[in-house]
Amino acid sequence: MKRLLFLSCILLLSLSAISQLSTLPPDKIYGRLFTDVQLQPVFPDSKTFVDCTSKRNPDEIINSYRLLRKDSVSKKALVKFVFENFLVPFDSPTDYQTDTSETLENHINRLWKVLKHEPDKTISRSSLLPLPNPYIVPGGRFREIYYWDSYFTMLGLAQSGEWEMIENMIRNFSFLIQRYGHIPNGNRSYYLSRSQPPFFSLMIQLLADKKGNAVYREYLNSLQKEYDYWMDKTAPTKHLVIMPNSSILNRYYDQDSIPRQESYREDYLLALKESREPDHINNPDFFASMCRNLRSGAESGWDFSSRWFADGKNISTIKTTDIIPVDLNGLLYQLELTLAHAYKITGNTGNYNFYLQKSNVRKAAINTYCWNEKGKWYVDYNFARRLQSSEYTAAGITPLFFNIASPAQATEIESTLNRKFLKNGGVVTTLRNTGQQWDAPNGWAPLEWMAVKGMENYGKKSTAREIATRWIKLNRDVYKRTGKLMEKYNVENTTLEAGGGEYSGQDGFGWTNGVLLKLMALYGK
């Protein structure tokens, strides 16, 4: 009996060790090897190595590398070592052929099969966090599910009648909440330190519109845990900010303060360079602070944009954690309303009233701190400086998407949008061209959808149609030219590619496909 108990304890300890290893990011597992691979660099894209799968036990690889390296190792030897010890990820080969003569609807409907990922098998030596159900990936270098991308992808899946896939993806997100306490940026171990814009409640609403109120009952516990994560109740995530009038709003705040593993070289070199500048050389915390702000910018989904920069121009001045983003707080307002509705359905009147009151307080706080009367636009709020941001961005339209604005504000926003943001190809992301991908001249499918839907919410049908038709035409023109549907588009000069960012333009592309299908269904081809 004692022997049986002893063996059981050993088994439990082994399983615990395996489980712990599976959630460790690659930098924690491989140490110096990871740093050398990323800084040499072995791969032009820092994300490649963190998505590699080791061919043997990581401890054996580390010991072998220690013997190889000694004092130094050549790049040639390092490359050879990596390819001998790791399976390098590539985009899955497929017999899919683009035919630009077919309708865009048919093209996208065929693409769902290309972007489909079957349920994951547990691979102990991979950074992938296995999901129990099928899902849709964005495409290109993005080989895993992504949080906020998926809502906009679901808009198109719904249009295609792919409700089973929508439900499978929601089940996966619920699984992540139950397993890790939140929905990470994506299902990778190196994404566990942060989330992304919290669209889970809108996914639930989308499914409930099809299947009825039972959906709210089924996912109420996960909705509550999602809210508790963002409100610092399950862990001190520091997403909460107490405002000058004692109301509470939220910010983005990554839980780590090291270079992003999937962009390690870029973050490390930038933070190192800036930490050596005269203004920062005597600040031992500057490197870590800058890394946290870069990581928090990634949590926002807007990685990167002038809206996070103290000088509005240079990424070296990034201060994401000082900012109260208007769109994040709109999403949490939506989550509070969803919780109120779900509790009402279950007969919990106390919680219904509690979350309804929470939503009312948040709505008032958003209008207090983020409405810019002079500019007739919603802006972010810098709570560290106690000032509204001077950066005007497409996030300022989102209060219309969430029905936070008054009718008078909506009319003023429509005017500002038409004068400043509406370009040949749709709504531009910001009014600055900094070389960052979430700035001018680029436009992005999720922002176009929220602008269109926001205008619709307030009866601004003409402007909604104008945004939609310009975006549809741009998508269609690029598709005819290239055979691709891209992650982002140049809305100012529609003959040019979108630029900026840390990687080349990606096609596929989940959220572009979803929004385009939905808009074509609403506004024609």
In the prediction, which pLDDT does 16 show?
Answer: 35
523 pLDDT band, cuts 50/70/90, is very high
Task: Confirm whether 266 is a catalytic residue.
Answer: no
In the prediction, which pLDDT does 6 show?
Answer: 40
* Phi and psi angles of residue 87, each rounded to the nearest 5 degrees, phi first: -90, 120
User: Which residues face 56 on adjacent strands?
Assistant: none
Amino acid at site 69: R
Mark 18-51 as b/e (b = at least 16 C-beta within 10 Å).
Answer: eeeebeebbbebbeebbebbbeebbbebbbbbbb
Q: Is the predicted pLDDT of residue 409 greater than 80, yes or no?
A: yes
Task: Confirm whether 303 is a catalytic residue.
Answer: yes
The predicted model scores a pTM of: 0.94
d(CA 40, CA 64): 19
d(CA 106, CA 365): 45
Largest Cα–Cα distance of the chain, in whole Å? 79
Please give the residue that has the higher pLDDT: either 18 or 334: 334
Amino acid at site 36: D
5 pLDDT band, cuts 50/70/90, is very low
d(CA 296, CA 239): 10
Amino acid at site 282: N
pLDDT tens readout for residues 139-162 = 999 999 999 999 999 999 999 999
Please, are residues 135 and 117 in contact by the beta-carbon 8 Å criterion? Answer: yes
pLDDT tens readout for residues 336-378 = 999 999 999 999 999 999 999 999 999 999 999 999 999 999 9
d(CA 466, CA 468): 5
d(CA 182, CA 173): 9
Q: Which own/partner pairs from 231-239 qualify as long-range (CB within 8 Å, at least 24 positions apart)?
A: 234/181, 234/182, 235/181
d(CA 440, CA 490): 8
Q: Is the predicted pLDDT of residue 8 greater than 60, yes or no?
A: no
Coil, strand or helix: which one is 257?
A: coil
Which of 187, 77, 178 minimizes the C-alpha distance to 138? 187
The domains located in the chain, with CATH, are 21-87 (no CATH), 104-252+321-523 (1.50.10.10), 261-320 (no CATH)
pLDDT tens readout for residues 429-441 = 999 999 999 999 9
pLDDT tens readout for residues 215-240 = 999 999 999 999 999 999 998 999 99
- Catalytic one among 303, 336, 380, 507? 303
- Cis peptide upstream of residue 441 (ω within 30 degrees of 0): yes
List CB contacts of 492: < 8 A, sequence separation 6 or more: 423, 424, 425, 428, 440, 441
Mark 314-331 as b/e (b = at least 16 C-beta within 10 Å).
Answer: ebeebbbbbbbbbbbbbb
pLDDT tens readout for residues 307-331 = 999 999 999 999 999 999 999 999 9
In the prediction, which pLDDT does 248 show?
Answer: 98
d(CA 132, CA 126): 16
pLDDT tens readout for residues 440-497 = 999 999 999 999 999 999 999 999 999 999 999 999 999 999 999 999 999 999 999 9
Sign of the torsion angle spanned by Cα atoms 488, 489, 491, 496: positive
